[in-house]
Chain A
Amino acid sequence: MTLSIHSLHPVFAAEIGGVDLTQPLDAATAAAIESAIATHGVLVFRDQRITDEQQLAFSRLFGDLEETRGTGISKPGEQRLHPAFADVSNLDKDNTVLARDNRRRLYSLGNMLWHSDSSFKAIPASYSLLSGRVVVAQGGETEFADMRAAYDALDARTRDEIEDLICEHSLIYSREALGFGDLTPEEKATMRPVRQVLTRTHPVSRRKSIYLASHIGTIIGWPMPEARAFIRDLTEHATQRCFVYTHQWRPFDLVMWDNRCTMHRARRYDPTQVRDMRRTTVAGTAMTAAQEDRAAA
């Protein structure tokens, strides 16, 4: 099987053809996909009528999968999907559209802020794979921003300034930004901040990128308001339209992205329409920064 690679944007993102993700793939094809994503950061596979089992099998070619347990506000037994899936739908366990003031819906609105998946974990995710099972007719795009191109476009002074900075990431911060403040003490305990570098080097391409996410709450050693203002400025720089690819979903698209060099966000859509998107997430293998010594703290 020969992959075709068709560029979707001047700086990153490519559409991959010539592959059927519902079938087992050989090692050479998996390696070719991994090589393509190291270059392009975001890969789009069209017309992949994939089942949950097939999506799990395809995803596992790239590493161990993250479990979503303990990373959100859904309780065991409330989840619609297998624990290796992040449910990016607007549906409850009975496949009913969530009400406007549903707590899980309001929580999931955090996906409308630019972020990198699982940057709030000490070992953050490598790849995410999102399958569009039921897509909305209007809106609901996923936008991606290339953090390598954004890094390259920084002036030398800013690059020097951010070279060794370490940020604190937590789901508490991204949810606070939307005024979702009523987290329980148990939820807050699972969302304890972790540390991540601000300048990150990709393990395969060796390209540097700005490791940003709305999960960032502060920079170690900086006063919080100064850190927040600076991170906002960097985010605005990094998400200029010249660095952004907007993905318009068609049914059965599968989009795979590398969280180590991109950010993404969901765009607004009519919340009364069914949108069933299912994400598998490949776990990373290393921390980006030493974590705070909790025992000493």
Chain B
Amino acid sequence: MTMNTQTISGVFAGEVTGIDITRPLPDETIAAIEAGMDRHAVLVFHDQPLTDDTQRAFSRQFGELESAAGGHVTAVRDRRLPLDMQDASNLDQNQNVLTRDDRRRFFNLGNRLWHSDSSFRAVPAKYSLLSGRIVAEQGGNTEFADMRAAYDALDAATKAEIDGLVCEHSLMFSRGLLGFTELTEAEIAMFRPVCQPLVRVHPVTGRKSLFLSAHGGTIIGWPVPEARAFLRDLTEQATQRRFVYSHRWRQHDLVMWDNRQTMHRVTRFDESQPRDMRRTTIAGTATA
């Protein structure tokens, strides 16, 4: 079996075939996947019936797993999955679909906004790996936007303007956009804003990209409304359809993306049906 990575027609993402990621892989295969990630930023692996354990094992070959702690309003004791897996499902700890008025569901709706995983952490995430255990029949696509291409397409004046700008990111900002503002004092403390550069350079390729995210709430030194209006404009520019790959899920897909050069979001789906998606996240190793 030979691993093969092909560009998905018309987009930046790649599809990897000829590989079984449910089994241990040799170092050179891992290196080839990393090289594919540097190039494509999003890789799709079809027909990978992963368990939590095999997903962890595959993920750990790319770095340390990030803990989910501090990233949600669900209390640790109420979690469906252990802390080294992010729960991107619409299920509670008893595998029941969250009700329409459930506070955890409101929080999850923030995933409908374009974001980069863990941009609200001082050291943001490297890769995310999302496994589709039960996928939505209609909708529930994950869309990815290429922040390198978006940066490259900016005019020179805008590139000069954003060079050196620093943004504040917090889960409070993304949830505030949806009117989810009823947070406890403990949650507010947990979601304290962190600083991120607006332009970041990829550590391997050296390519510049826009570091945008719905978690970005202001630009240091700017009046907040002016910063928000500008970040909205940049986000609109950066998420034009020509920069976007929309992933239609099949069961047992694993999609892996580089948060250092992409944004993503989930599209609307019928939330009365179970959708069980499990994410492992590779911690970053340095501030952006």
Contact = CB atoms under 8 A, between A and B. Distances in A.
- Pairing of A with B: yes
Nearest to B110: A225
Interface string A219-249: 0000111111110110000000000000000
A217 interface: yes
Nearest to B111: A229
Interface in B162-182: 175-180
Given A223-B101, A225-B180, A233-B268, A179 B230 contact: no
Given A109-B229, A112-B229, A179-B228, A229 B178 contact: yes
A106 B227 CA distance: 10
Contacts of B225: 106-107, 109-110, 175, 178-180
A113 B210 CA distance: 21
Interface in B199-245: 217-218, 223-230, 232-233
A226 B177 contact: no
Interface string A195-237: 0000000000000000000000110000111111110110000
Contact of A179 (B106, B218, B233, B268): B218
Nearest to B241: A240
Interface residues of B, number: 27
Contact of B224 (A113, A180, A225): A180
Nearest to A267: B233
Contact of A224 (B112, B179, B223, B267): B179
A178 B112 contact: no
Given A178-B225, A228-B179, A268-B233, 5 more contacts: A180-B225, A223-B100, A223-B101, A226-B109, A227-B179
A107 B225 CA distance: 8
Nearest to A100: B223
Interface string A11-45: 00000000000000000000000000000000000
Interface of B: 100-101, 106, 109-110, 112-113, 175-180, 217-218, 223-230, 232-233, 267-268
Interface string A168-185: 000000011111100000
A53 interface: no
Contacts, number: 70
B226 A100 contact: yes
A226 B232 CA distance: 20
Given A177-B177, A217-B179, A229 B112 contact: yes
Given A179-B224, A180-B224, A229 B109 contact: yes
B100 A226 contact: yes
30 contacts: A101-B223, A106-B224, A109-B226, A110-B225, A112-B233, A113-B229, A113-B232, A176-B176, A177-B228, A178-B224, A178-B228, A178-B229, A179-B218, A179-B224, A179-B227, A180-B224, A180-B225, A223-B100, A223-B106, A224-B178, A224-B180, A226-B100, A228-B179, A229-B109, A229-B112, A229-B113, A232-B113, A233-B112, A268-B229, A268-B233
A225 B109 contact: yes
Contacts of B178: 224-225, 228-229
Contacts of B230: 268
Smallest CB-CB A-B distances: 10 pairs: A179-B224, A178-B225, A224-B179, A225-B178, A225-B106, A106-B225, A228-B178, A229-B112, A178-B228, A225-B109
Contacts of A100: 223, 226
Given A179-B217, A179-B218, A106 B180 contact: no
B273 to A, nearest CB: 16
Nearest to A178: B225
A181 to B, nearest CB: 8
Interface in A144-197: 175-180
Interface string A91-111: 000000000110000110110
A107 B100 CA distance: 34
Nearest to A271: B226
A218 B228 contact: no
Contacts of B175: 225
A74 to B, nearest CB: 16
A192 B113 CA distance: 27
A217 B223 CA distance: 23
Nearest to B106: A225
A163 to B, nearest CB: 18
A218 B223 contact: no
B223 A106 contact: yes
Contact of B226 (A106, A177, A226, A232): A106
